[in-house]
C-alpha cells in the first residue's frame, strides 16, 4: 500500500522530535498504522541540530508544504495564532488532514477550524495540545464515551506546578523560584501565559468541550494566576492538611458548566495534591467509571512528539474511513453540541481559605466572624498567630465551609472596609476532589 506522506511545519524542539520518532520507530509505527509513514517535506527557518533531515525537502515557505499535492497529512508545530490558523485552513481547503499541538489556536479558533474540516471531510487531530504526552483527549473522546462526565480537574501547566512545588518543599518565594524556572527553560522570558493561568485556560477550554459536548469557549474561562501566592500561604495550607495547586476545574451543574483556572487548596491525601515538579495530571469523574487519573509529562520534546505521532497514526488508520464514521473532533457529533451555558464565577460554590492581617486589639476577631455570619458563611477552622516583630498586625487564617462565590465576595469587601484590617484579604478556593 502507498506510503502516507507527512509535511511538518516547524522543525524546532517538537517538530524535530516528531521527525526523529517517525524515523526511529518507522517499522513499529507502520505495523500499527498498516501503512508506511514518511516525512517528505518540512518548513523550517532552521532545523534543530540533531534532526535527521535525510530525504526531507526543506522549504522556507510554510505554504509550500500545505500546497504540496504529494502531502497527505500536515503537522503544524509552529505555534501561535497566525500564520498557523491560515496555514491549517489552507491545508484543509486542499483536502489534507491536519495534526497540531497548538492549544492556543484550538481554544480560540477551533470551532472555525473544525467546521471547515467537517465540510471538507478531513480530520484535525490535537492530542498533543493538552497535557503533552498524556492521552487525555483520546481518553475523554473514546475511552470514556459511555459515561456522562461529571467533572474534570487538572494540573495542566508544568511551570506553575514546578514553582508551587519548590515553594512548598523549600520554603522559597515565588519570584525566586520563577527566576530559576526561567534559567532551567521551564518558563519563558515572559512567563505570563504560564503563571497567570492563560496556558492552562487554553487546555481547560478543550477538555470541557470534549467532556460536555459544548463549543470551545475560551473567553468564558475564569482565570487567576499564582503570582500573588505567598510562602506563608503555602505554609498555612500545610498546617491545615492542604497543598496549593494551580488547578483547572470544569464541572457540570444544574445551572451550567463551571470553567475556571485558579490556585486551589487540595487535601494532601488526594492524588492530584501529590503531583509535583513539572508533571501534569488530569482527574476525570464519569458517572459509570468513577474517578480516573491520567498522569505524565505535560511538555518536553519526546513526550509531545509521542502524542503527535499517535495522532498521525490515528489519522492514517482513518484515511479510508467514511468521514461520517470517524471519531468527532469534540467527541460529540457536530450537530449535537449543547448550548449549556458557562456558569458565572459568582455562582460557583466552593470552600475558601482566607488570610488577612488585623490590628492587634480586642474585638477584631469578633468583628470578622460577625461579618462572615451576616453573609451566611460558616467557619470550619481558624488560626490566629502571635504577631511577629517584622509584621504589621496579627495574621489570621480562616477556612470556610462551601458557600457561593458572590456571598464570599461581598463578605471580603466588607471585611477589607474595616479600619482594623491592614491590607487586602488573600483568598484561595478549596476543592476536596472527593469521588462521590
Active site residue 385: no
**CB 324: neighbour CB atoms within 10 A?**
9
Neighbouring residues of 54: CB distance < 8 A, sequence distance ≥ 6: none
Q: How many contiguous H segments (helices) and E segments (strands) does the chain have?
A: 14, 17
Q: Which pairs from 190-195 meet CB under 8 Å and 24+ separation?
A: 191/159, 194/157, 194/159, 194/160, 195/159, 195/160, 195/163, 195/225, 195/226, 195/227
Q: Check if the beta carbon of residue 78 is closer than 8 Å to that of residue 9.
A: yes
- Collapsing DSSP to helix, strand or coil, 333 comes out as coil
- Collapsing DSSP to helix, strand or coil, 227 comes out as coil
Torsions phi, psi for 279 (to 5 deg): -75, 155
Residue from 96, 103, 138, 203 carrying the catalytic annotation: 203
Four-residue CA torsion sign, 402, 404, 410, 416: positive
Four-residue CA torsion sign, 99, 21, 293, 272: negative
Question: Where are the alpha helices (H) located in 282-363, listed in sequence order?
Answer: 301-317
Range list of β-strands (E), 254-307 = 257-267, 279-286, 290-297
| CA angle in degrees (0–180, nearest 5) for 329-341-210 | 20
- Tell me whether strands 349-358 and 394-400 are parallel, antiparallel or unpaired: antiparallel
Neighbouring residues of 73: CB distance < 8 A, sequence distance ≥ 6: 4, 5, 6, 7, 96, 97, 98, 99, 312, 315, 316
Residues annotated as catalytic are: 203
Amino acid at each position: 500500500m502507498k506510503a502516507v506522506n507527512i509535511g511538518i511545519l516547524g522543525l524546532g524542539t517538537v517538530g524535530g522530535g516528531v521527525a526523529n520518532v517517525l524515523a526511529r520507530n518507522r517499522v513499529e509505527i507502520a505495523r500499527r498504522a498498516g501503512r508506511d509513514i514518511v516525512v517528505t517535506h518540512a518548513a523550517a527557518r532552521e532545523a534543530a541540530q540533531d534532526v535527521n533531515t535525510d530525504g526531507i525537502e526543506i522549504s522556507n515557505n510554510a505554504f509550500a508544504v500545505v500546497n504540496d499535492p504529494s502531502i497527505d497529512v500536515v503537522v503544524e508545530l509552529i505555534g501561535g495564532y497566525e500564520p498557523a490558523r491560515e496555514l491549517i485552513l489552507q491545508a484543509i481547503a486542499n483536502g489534507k488532514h491536519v495534526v497540531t499541538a497548538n492549544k492556543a489556536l484550538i481554544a480560540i479558533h477551533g470551532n472555525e477550524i473544525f467546521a471547515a474540516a467537517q465540510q471538507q471531510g478531513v480530520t484535525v487531530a490535537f492530542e498533543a495540545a493538552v497535557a503533552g504526552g498524556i492521552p487525555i483527549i483520546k481518553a475523554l473522546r473514546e475511552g470514556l464515551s459511555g459515561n456522562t462526565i461529571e467533572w474534570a480537574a487538572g494540573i495542566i501547566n508544568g511551570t506553575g506546578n514546578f514553582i508551587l512545588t519548590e515553594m512548598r518543599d523549600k520554603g522559597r518565594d515565588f519570584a525566586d523560584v520563577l527566576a530559576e524556572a526561567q534559567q532551567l527553560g521551564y518558563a519563558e522570558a515572559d512567563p505570563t501565559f504560564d503563571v497567570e493561568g492563560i496556558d492552562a485556560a487554553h487546555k481547560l477550554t478543550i477538555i470541557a468541550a470534549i467532556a460536555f459536548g459544548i463549543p470551545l469557549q475560551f473567553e468564558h474561562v475564569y482565570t487567576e494566576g499564582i503570582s500573588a501566592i505567598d510562602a506563608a500561604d503555602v505554609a498555612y495550607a500545610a498546617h491545615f492538611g492542604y497543598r496549593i495547586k494551580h488547578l483547572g476545574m470544569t464541572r457540570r451543574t444544574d445551572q451550567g458548566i463551571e470553567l475556571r483556572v485558579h490556585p486551589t487548596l487540595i487535601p494532601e491525601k488526594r492524588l492530584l495534591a501529590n503531583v509535583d515538579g513539572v508533571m501534569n495530571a488530569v482527574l476525570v469523574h464519569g458517572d459509570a467509571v468513577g474517578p480516573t487519573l491520567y498522569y505524565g509529562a505535560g511538555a518536553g520534546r519526546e513526550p509531545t512528539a509521542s502524542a503527535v505521532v499517535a495522532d498521525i497514526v490515528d489519522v492514517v488508520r482513518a484515511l479510508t474511513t467514511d468521514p461520517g464514521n470517524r471519531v468527532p473532533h469534540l467527541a460529540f457529533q457536530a450537530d449535537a453540541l449543547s448550548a449549556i451555558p458557562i456558569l458565572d464565577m459568582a455562582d460557583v460554590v466552593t470552600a475558601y481559605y482566607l488570610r488577612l492581617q488585623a490590628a492587634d486589639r480586642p474585638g477584631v476577631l469578633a468583628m470578622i466572624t460577625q461579618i462572615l455570619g451576616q453573609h451566611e458563611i460558616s467557619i470550619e477552622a481558624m488560626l490566629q498567630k502571635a504577631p511577629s516583630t517584622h509584621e504589621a498586625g496579627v495574621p489570621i487564617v480562616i477556612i470556610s465551609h462551601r458557600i457561593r462565590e458572590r456571598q464570599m465576595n461581598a463578605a471580603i469587601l466588607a471585611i477589607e472596609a474595616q479600619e482594623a484590617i491592614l491590607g487586602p484579604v488573600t483568598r484561595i478556593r478549596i476543592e476536596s476532589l472527593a469521588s462521590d
